[in-house]
Amino acid sequence: MLLVSIATGTFGYMLIEDYSVLDSFYMTILIVSTVGFSEVSPLSDDGKLFTSLYMMFNLAIFAYIISVFSRYIFEGEFQKIFTTFIYNKKTKKVNNHVIVVGYGRTGAKTCDELLKSQQQFILIENNPEVLRYLPDPPRFQIIKEDATREDVLIKARIEHATSLICTLPSDADNMIICITAKGINPNLNIIARASEESAEKKLYRAGANKVVKPFAIGGIHMAHLITQPYVIEFLEILTGIKEQDLQLEEFMFNELKEEFKNKTIKELDIRMNTGATVIGVKDPNRGFLFDPNSDTVIKRGDVLIVLGSRESLKKFQMYCV
């Protein structure tokens, strides 16, 4: 609007007053800036009329600019822009992170759980209707673009990510993202949502490591609430659905201090020292060992599944680097 105003004033004075280009530009800037120096030369009646209308036009522009700046200041637009800039700057530095695609009902819950676990992640979402429900200011990094595009996944530093969670309602979009992501980062752990039963095998073929069917899981859960209510109640406590001081945590072999590696559970004496209990061990060769005996050796590649209160799991950190 300012550029149009300056161009209009310059050409107007050239045509009406026969000023030179420099003099016309000078008169225009005097009016636009509201400085108020004297005219280059006395104005004609047509020139006075043009100048009066031109002043009113520029006052309208000035009022509009003030209103825009006021909105940015009082409605927090500057803060939003600054926050977005900071998050985009942080995105360029993230490594070993999780990428979540979609902020629908499934995606929002996924983000909440990742926040609780203090897991670094980036959300990709471009649906304006869904974006309205994002927390303000956001507590995580957001890329407001289409995740089916390769350049957007690269922008989210997918080559440096450890996992990708696809929660879009469209199975076709989830497949495209799986194929594209796996092509960029073959070691990426991909968890995809399947809305249709027939999409499960296709998602696995597209590169997904795990496929989750929310409706099937919901149906099984509701049935078990009737057939095994106390088992489900216990599982809800473990997964954090019910607020109680009991949690499950996993600890990798390489997280342990050197003096605690290649020791038996009896030698570690975890229950006595922390109050937590080792309820399972993930062996890279034999798979899961539930309720391992005290002579089980914790060796390279193993993962400890530990159950305990927040306090006991905090004490377990004495075993970790």
3-state SS, one letter per residue, for the chain: CHHHHHHHHHHHHHHHCCCCHHHHHHHHHHHHCCCCCCCCCCCCHHHHHHHHHHHHHHHHHHHHHHHHHHHHHHCCHHHHHHHHHHHHHHHCCCCCCEEEECCCHHHHHHHHHHHHCCCCEEEECCCHHHHCCCCCCCCCEEECCCCCCHHHHHHCCHHHCCEEEECCCCHHHHHHHHHHHHHHCCCCEEEEECCCCCHHHHHHHHCCCEEECHHHHHHHHHHHHHHCHHHHHHHHHHHCCCCCCCEEEEEEHHHECHHHCCEEHHHHCHHHHHCCEEEEEEECCCEEEECCCCCCEECCCCEEEEEECHHHHHHHHHHEC
Over range 18-43, report the average pLDDT: 85
Would you say residue 226 lies in a domain? Answer: no
pLDDT band at 309 (very low <50, low <70, confident <90, very high): confident
Residue with structure tokens 């045509």?
15
- 174 pLDDT exceeds 90? yes
Residues 202, 311 share a domain: no
Domain of 55: which CATH number?
1.10.287.70
Boundary of a domain, candidates 74, 108, 126: 74
Assigned token pair, 84: 């977005």
- 5 pLDDT exceeds 80? yes
> For 59-117, what is each residue's pLDDT tens digit?
888 888 888 878 777 666 666 667 667 666 666 678 899 999 999 888 998 999 899 88
Would you say residue 289 lies in a domain? Answer: yes
Residues 259, 196 share a domain: no
Residues 132, 69 share a domain: no
Over range 166-178, report the average pLDDT: 95
Would you say residue 290 lies in a domain? Answer: yes
Would you say residue 66 lies in a domain? Answer: yes
CB 239 within 8 A of CB 307: no
Domain hosting residue 169, numbered range = 93-212
Boundary of a domain, candidates 164, 189, 212: 212
Name the more confident of 215 and 159: 159
Residues 176, 250 share a domain: no
Least confidently predicted of 30-44, 65-79, 103-117, 307-321: 65-79
Residues 168, 97 share a domain: yes
Would you say residue 86 lies in a domain? Answer: no
pLDDT recorded at residue 125: 93
Would you say residue 145 lies in a domain? Answer: yes
Domain of 262: which CATH number?
3.30.70.1450
Would you say residue 81 lies in a domain? Answer: no
pLDDT band at 221 (very low <50, low <70, confident <90, very high): confident
Domain of 160: which CATH number?
3.40.50.720
Residues 179, 137 share a domain: yes
Q: How many domains does the chain have?
A: 3
Residues 269, 198 share a domain: no
pLDDT recorded at residue 42: 85
Name the more confident of 212 and 243: 212
pLDDT band at 282 (very low <50, low <70, confident <90, very high): very high
- 228 pLDDT exceeds 70? yes
Assigned token pair, 276: 């937590």
pLDDT recorded at residue 130: 87
What is the chain's mean pLDDT, rounded? Answer: 87
Residues 135, 70 share a domain: no
Residues 255, 193 share a domain: no
Residues 105, 52 share a domain: no
Would you say residue 195 lies in a domain? Answer: yes
Question: What residues contact residue 129 under an 8 Å CB cut-off, 6+ apart?
Answer: none
Over range 134-154, report the average pLDDT: 87
Name the more confident of 316 and 36: 316
> For 61-74, what is each residue's pLDDT tens digit?
888 888 887 877 76
